[in-house]
A and B are shown apart, each in its own frame.
Chain A
Amino acid sequence: MPAIQRVIKPRTKRSKRALEKREPQFIENTKQCLFFHGLKTSEGIRECVKDLHALKSQASLKLQQKNKILPFEDVLPVERLAVKNDSSLFCMATHSKKRPNNIVIGRMFDHHLLDMVELGVENYAPLSEFKNAKVAAGTKPCMVFCGTEFEDVTEFKILKNLLIDFFRGVEAKEIRLQGFEHALQFTVFDGKVFLKSYRILLKKSGTRIPRVELEEIGPSMTLQMRRNRFASNDLRKRSLQQPKQQKANKVKNVRKDPFGTRLGRVHMTKQDIGKLQTRKMKGLKEITKKTKKTRGRVSGDEQMETNE
């Protein structure tokens, strides 16, 4: 466990725990994403951000207020928001005459900006336009990247990495086979990126491996790369550093016995032994008033019998 090296101590256990949670960890949590609006937005871009938020749903947070932020002029307010909400991904919607229907997608490293890309949204088709069943919330999407530019052009190379980071969700080691439900496709062509989202239908093929069919569920859009700000090589290198040994956090009160059974320890309140129910026997029965009376009478009858 990393230590909290702070001069001012947290006053309560709860706040201490909250601070510890925000500390750098060996095995990191899923990156939280922050969605918010700029001062001016169009209806289309608002819907777009809403849909993207719905796609990510679990590890994300959407702010409702307008924000007077221009990330390419001053990134500090964005960093401040990210620190406050402990989220390292962000997606911001803006709209202006010069750059209509704009989203800014970015990521942070150690509370400072790493990469940031401005994308213009065209031909937007929202989730609601596709009238069919959607995927379950929080499914890890399969991602497809088509086009040579994703390998050749530096900007698109970084964009690809950013998009994987943005959409991949939980870093899972084990996945249920039925969990392959959602597919995202990014195709770069003529400097534009087509985003499509599909539901994966696994059909019987007669062999062990199922046949894949895709059904578009939306949203679908064309993204135009506008401004960008990428990290320096040095910073990127630092952000990619991995700890030498991945130590998981200590799990308390759970252990395994030699047979591999998981045993848990549960802490409970003190047991009142006085009220404990033991084996029921006549002799151990508590003597109440009623029973006392009947008992007395029985003994009296017996006496009379003996007298006779």
Chain B
Amino acid sequence: MEESAVDKVRDILLKAQEEVKAVQVENKEIQLECDLGNLVVTDNNTLVQDTLRNSDECGEYLRSLARDSIQTLITKVWDLPTERIDNAVYVTLPKPSISIPREKKVPVEKPLTKWEQYAKDKGITKRKKEKKVWDEVLKQWVPRYGFRKVQADKEKNWVRVVPENADPYEDQYAKVAEMKKENVAKNEFQRLRNIARNSKVKLPSVGVTGNEFARPKDLLRAAQHAKHATASLGKFQPGLKGEKPSKGRGNKRKSEGSTMDIQQEKKRNIDIFDKIGKPDLNLDAAMHRQVKDDNVEHDRKKKGGKKHLRRSKMGGRHLTRSDHRSIKLGKGIHNNGPKGKGRDAGPGSKGKGKDRASLLQLASKRGATGKIIMKANKRKKFSKR
């Protein structure tokens, strides 16, 4: 009896030992590093070179390596806190220790618009308005904006009253439509101005939409600018009775004094020195432009479209054999003057690239009057200039 009991105990102990063995991993020289967040195990131990070179044993060896690593990982994962959701056990992983690059930049806060900034300074908060408004005329709830608003508006304003002092032939509907359009345009203008302001683009200070909403100040400024926009900078423009001369139209450049504080002068000189020899290049913009050009070219090639633009846009007719020869001889090709059709056009522009000499020849051949010749002479002067 006693002996059998001892055997049983021994058996149980042996079994327990085996069980523990099954989960244990043999000791390694360098401990395995586990990144539980990414489920990555790193084994920094040196590998057995002979087995790896032997193609028969290689696979089995690698599998045993992988098994040990995965076993350590699983052991660690099973020790992590778990949670039971819908009859399945979930383990909560810690933060990954191996850092992986982001896909895109860290998002930046949206810059405030001019109104938002103003509202923030003044402490104005947005009030939520109800989406529907009671309409006394229609005796029903009407949307404040959006879906079915226009419909309700049409129903309500089936007739429009012409104001007493208004032109009786004026289309009141068109007037309202115009106002609406102007309003939309104004909003769009302000949106763009906000974007420009936030991306630090310099904007002209004059910009009047010329609508009903323009403030007197804006109109006055616009009038002043218009007045100033003559060849003599508005010196001889007649003024209205009692009109004050405009001032503060622009910033006058102040001349810096030649003598100043030593530190200031030093700074100025160093600034100038820093600027010398450095190209004024916006690298980002240049790169994007290059990318864009490449894209355009690529698309054109891919679509099988025209490789070249219109001849006229490429700079005139193609070169003939005689042109090439004349280039070689240093005579220059026919059309090498300034281009265009106007008065200031160069000798090469008219007559499809015929130069002055050929023009003269033509004139004499045709027995034309001296007018053409004179013209040609004039051109000669021009080209000399």
Chain A contact residues, CB within 8 Å of chain B: 2-3, 5, 7, 23-26, 28-29, 31, 76-77, 80, 88, 107-111, 114, 140-148, 150-151, 161, 164-165, 168, 171-178, 180, 183, 185, 187, 189, 194, 196, 198, 200, 202-203, 205-214, 216, 236, 238-243
Contacts and interface: CB of A to CB of B under 8 A. Distances in A.
Interface of A is mostly: mixed
A146 B106 CA distance: 33
A209 B47 contact: no
A151 B104 contact: no
Contact of B192 (A7, A77, A208): A7
A44 B46 CA distance: 32
Given A26-B107, A144-B66, A214-B63, A207 B43 contact: no
B42 interface: yes
Contact of B67 (A25, A171, A208, A214): A214
Interface stretch (B95-103, B268-276, B312-320): B95-103
Contacts of B226: none
A295 to B, nearest CB: 40
A196 B19 contact: no
B102 A242 contact: yes
Interface residues of B, number: 63
A202 B74 contact: yes
17 contacts: A5-B199, A23-B107, A88-B104, A146-B43, A168-B38, A173-B92, A173-B93, A174-B83, A174-B91, A177-B90, A189-B49, A200-B70, A214-B63, A214-B66, A216-B59, A241-B102, A242-B102
B74 A180 contact: yes
Nearest to B191: A9
B141 to A, nearest CB: 13
B75 A209 contact: yes
A242 B16 CA distance: 48
A239 B101 contact: yes
A175 B291 CA distance: 42
B91 A175 contact: yes
Contacts of A242: 102, 106
A148 B41 contact: no
B67 to A, nearest CB: 5
A212 B74 contact: yes
A26 B106 CA distance: 7
A128 B140 CA distance: 69
A205 B106 contact: no
